[in-house]
C-alpha cells in the first residue's frame, strides 16, 4: 500500500514541457511557513531518505501552518502536489555507480523554483550537487538553510584508521568539502550521535541531533502471525529467517555478511533473505556460499516489507557507516532483533535498546558468532525490548513535531 503522497508524485499538475520555462503553479497555503527540501537521495527504489521525506510530507499535509516544497530528481520534469505539499521532479540521468540515484543538473530551474516558492527555510538533504544548486538563490533571497547529513561519505572514502597516504589525503579533502557545505548553513542536522561526533570532532557546526522514526502501526510484531504466508509468498522453507533490506552498495559491507553466511547456515540452518537492488548485486551473487540465500527485488510495498521483517528471526546490518539505519529500526519495531557492526547509527540503537548484538566491523567470524547467538536465543525477549525502545524513542509524529519546532526556531532566529 502506497501513501497518498506517493500516488500524488505520479500525476503532473503543471502541464507538459520543461520546468525551465513553463508556468509554475501558484504557491500553496499562503502565509504558512514554507520548508523546501532538496535532495538527490530520492529514487524509485531508494530507501531511508525517500521514506523520511515522504513521512515528513504526510506530517506537514495535516498541519495548516506549514507547507513543503520538494525538489528531487526524476526521469522527466514533473510537478505533483497534495494537501500543502508540492514535489518538483527535475529530469536527470542515472548515476551509473549509484543507481537508483540520478544527477541533478538544472541550476536555472532550481533557482526559478526557489524564487517562485520563496521558502522560509531550505533543507539540503544530500552532499552532491544539491548544496551548490541552492547556493546562489538562498543568498539572493536571504533564506536560511540547514544541511541534513544523511551520509557518512568521508568515512566511506577513508576509514578513520586508514594508513595509506592517499586515503588520508582523501579524508582531508572530504572534510574540506563538508566544511564548504556547512558554511552555507545555519546548522547541520545529524540523525545519530555517530554522525554528530564526527562532525563536531572536525569542527563542523553547529550540530543539532535529529533522530528519524518508524511507522509503529505498519511495523508491528503482530505481523508475526503471517510468517507462514510470508514464507509461501517468497518460496522460503520453514526455517529461521535472517533478513537484510537496503541498497546493494559497497558501504553496506554485504561482502562481510556473505563471508559469514555459510558458517551461520551450517550452525543454525537459517536462510538469508536479501531485499533490494544496487550496483553490487551481480558481484555479490557470484561469491561462494550463496546457495542458502534468497534474493528479493526492491520491495516498494511497505506492508509486504513489514511482513517480511516481522517474519525474520534476526535482522543483519553489517555496515559500520550507517548514519541512522531506518530499516534496522523498522525491524526492531516489528519485534525482530538486530545484529550490526559495532560502529555507526545502528550500533547506537542496538546498544541502547539491548535488542540484539554487535560485532567488530569487518570481522566475518565475529558476525557469525553474534548472529548464531541471537538466533539460538530466539526473537521473543529481544524483540520485546526492541519494540519498547522504538515506541519510546522513534515514533514519527513525535520525531517530526520536534523537527518542525527546530525549523521554526531556525527560520525566525
Do residue 403 and residue 389 come from a single domain?
no
Question: Mind listing the pLDDT tens digit for each residue in 249-277?
Answer: 999 999 999 999 999 999 999 999 999 98
**What pLDDT, on the 0 to 100 scale, is given for residue 1?**
32
pLDDT confidence tier of residue 101, bands split at 50, 70 and 90: confident
**What pLDDT, on the 0 to 100 scale, is given for residue 174?**
93
Question: Mind listing the pLDDT tens digit for each residue in 368-383?
Answer: 999 999 999 999 999 9
| Domain CATH for 310 | 3.40.50.2000
**What pLDDT, on the 0 to 100 scale, is given for residue 168?**
81
Segment (H or E) for 66: strand 66-74
pLDDT confidence tier of residue 3, bands split at 50, 70 and 90: very low
pLDDT confidence tier of residue 94, bands split at 50, 70 and 90: confident
pLDDT confidence tier of residue 4, bands split at 50, 70 and 90: very low
Residue in the block written with cell 532550481? 110
**What pLDDT, on the 0 to 100 scale, is given for residue 47?**
74
**What pLDDT, on the 0 to 100 scale, is given for residue 95?**
83
Do residue 369 and residue 408 come from a single domain?
no
Q: How far are the Cα atoms of 59, 134, 245, 253 from residue 4, in angstroms, in the given order? A: 12, 28, 24, 34
Spatial separation of the C-alpha atoms in residues 151 and 125, rounded to whole Å: 9
**What pLDDT, on the 0 to 100 scale, is given for residue 289?**
60
**What pLDDT, on the 0 to 100 scale, is given for residue 14?**
67
Number of domains making up the chain: 2
Q: What DSSP designation does 314 have? A: E
- Please compute the mean of the pLDDT values over residues 180-208 and round it to a whole number: 96
Do residue 65 and residue 41 come from a single domain?
yes
Do residue 84 and residue 198 come from a single domain?
yes
Do residue 278 and residue 383 come from a single domain?
yes
Question: Mind listing the pLDDT tens digit for each residue in 274-296?
Answer: 999 888 988 998 876 666 899 99
pLDDT of residue 5 exceeding 60: no
Do residue 379 and residue 400 come from a single domain?
no
Do residue 306 and residue 283 come from a single domain?
yes
Taking alpha carbons only, the member of 214, 148, 150, 156 closest to residue 353 is 214
Residues spanned by the domain of 174? 4-213+395-412
pLDDT confidence tier of residue 27, bands split at 50, 70 and 90: very high
**What pLDDT, on the 0 to 100 scale, is given for residue 156?**
82
Do residue 379 and residue 265 come from a single domain?
yes
Burial per residue of 202-221, b for 16 or more beta-carbon CB atoms within 10 angstroms, e otherwise:
bebeebbebbbbbbbebbbb
Do residue 384 and residue 399 come from a single domain?
no
Do residue 202 and residue 251 come from a single domain?
no
Spatial separation of the C-alpha atoms in residues 413 and 404, rounded to whole Å: 14
- Please compute the mean of the pLDDT values over residues 92-110 and round it to a whole number: 86
Q: Angle formed by the axes of helices 193-201 and 345-353, to 10°?
A: 130
- Contact status, residue 133 vs residue 110, Cβ threshold 8 Å: yes
Question: Mind listing the pLDDT tens digit for each residue in 143-163?
Answer: 999 999 999 888 887 666 655
Do residue 160 and residue 94 come from a single domain?
yes
Do residue 228 and residue 364 come from a single domain?
yes
pLDDT of residue 10 exceeding 70: no
pLDDT confidence tier of residue 189, bands split at 50, 70 and 90: very high
Amino acid at each position: 500500500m502506497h501513501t497518498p503522497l506517493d500516488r500524488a508524485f505520479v500525476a503532473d499538475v503543471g502541464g507538459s514541457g520543461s520546468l525551465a520555462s513553463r508556468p509554475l503553479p501558484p504557491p500553496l497555503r499562503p502565509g504558512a511557513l514554507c520548508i523546501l527540501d532538496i535532495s538527490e537521495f530520492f529514487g524509485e527504489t531508494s530507501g531511508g531518505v525517500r521514506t523520511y521525506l515522504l513521512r515528513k510530507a504526510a506530517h506537514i499535509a495535516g498541519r495548516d501552518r506549514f507547507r513543503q516544497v520538494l525538489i528531487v530528481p526524476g526521469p522527466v520534469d514533473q510537478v505533483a502536489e497534495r494537501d500543502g505539499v508540492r514535489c518538483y521532479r527535475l529530469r536527470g540521468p542515472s548515476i551509473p555507480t549509484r543507481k537508483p540515484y540520478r544527477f541533478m543538473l538544472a541550476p536555472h530551474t532550481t533557482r526559478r523554483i526557489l524564487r517562485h516558492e520563496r521558502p522560509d527555510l531550505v533543507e539540503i538533504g544530500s552532499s552532491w550537487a544539491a548544496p551548490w544548486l541552492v547556493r546562489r538563490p538562498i543568498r539572493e533571497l536571504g533564506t536560511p538553510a540547514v544541511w541534513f547529513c544523511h551520509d557518512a561519505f568521508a568515512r566511506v572514502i577513508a576509514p578513520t584508521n586508514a594508513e595509506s597516504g592517499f586515503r588520508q589525503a582523501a579524508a582531508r579533502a572530504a572534510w574540506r568539502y563538508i566544511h564548504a557545505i556547512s558554511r552555507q548553513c545555519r546548522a547541520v542536522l545529524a540523525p545519530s550521535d555517530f554522525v554528530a561526533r564526527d562532525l563536531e570532532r572536525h569542527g563542523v557546526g553547529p550540530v543539532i541531533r535529529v533522530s528519524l522514526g518508524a511507522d509503529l502501526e505498519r511495523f508491528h510484531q503482530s505481523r508475526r502471525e503471517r510468517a507462514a504466508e510470508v514464507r509461501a509468498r517468497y518460496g522460503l522453507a520453514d526455517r529461521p529467517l535472517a533478513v537484510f533490506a537496503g541498497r546493494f552498495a559497497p558501504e553496506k559491507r554485504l561482502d562481510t555478511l556473505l563471508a559469514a553466511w555459510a558458517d551461520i547456515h551450517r550452525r543454525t540452518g537459517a536462510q538469508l533473505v536479501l531485499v533490494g537492488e544496487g550496483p553490487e548485486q551481480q558481484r555479490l551473487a557470484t561469491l561462494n556460499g550463496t546457495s542458502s540465500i534468497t534474493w528479493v527485488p526492491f520491495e516498494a510495498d511497505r506492508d509486504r516489507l513489514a511482513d517480511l521483517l516481522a517474519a525474520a528471526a534476526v535482522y543483519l546490518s553489517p555496515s559500520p557507516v550507517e548514519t541512522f539505519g531506518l530499516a534496522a529500526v523498522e525491524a526492531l519495531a516489528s519485534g525482530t532483533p538486530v545484529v550490526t557492526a559495532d560502529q555507526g547509527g545502528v550500533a547506537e540503537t542496538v546498544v541502547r535498546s539491548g535488542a540484539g548484538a554487535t560485532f567488530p566491523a569487518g570481522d566475518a567470524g565475529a558476525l557469525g558468532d553474534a548472529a548464531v547467538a541471537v538466533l539460538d536465543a530466539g526473537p521473543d525477549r529481544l524483540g520485546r525490548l526492541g519494540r519498547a525502545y522504538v515506541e519510546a524513542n522513534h515514533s514519527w509524529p513525535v520525531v517530526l513535531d520536534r523537527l518542525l519546532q527546530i525549523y521554526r526556531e531556525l527560520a525566525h532566529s
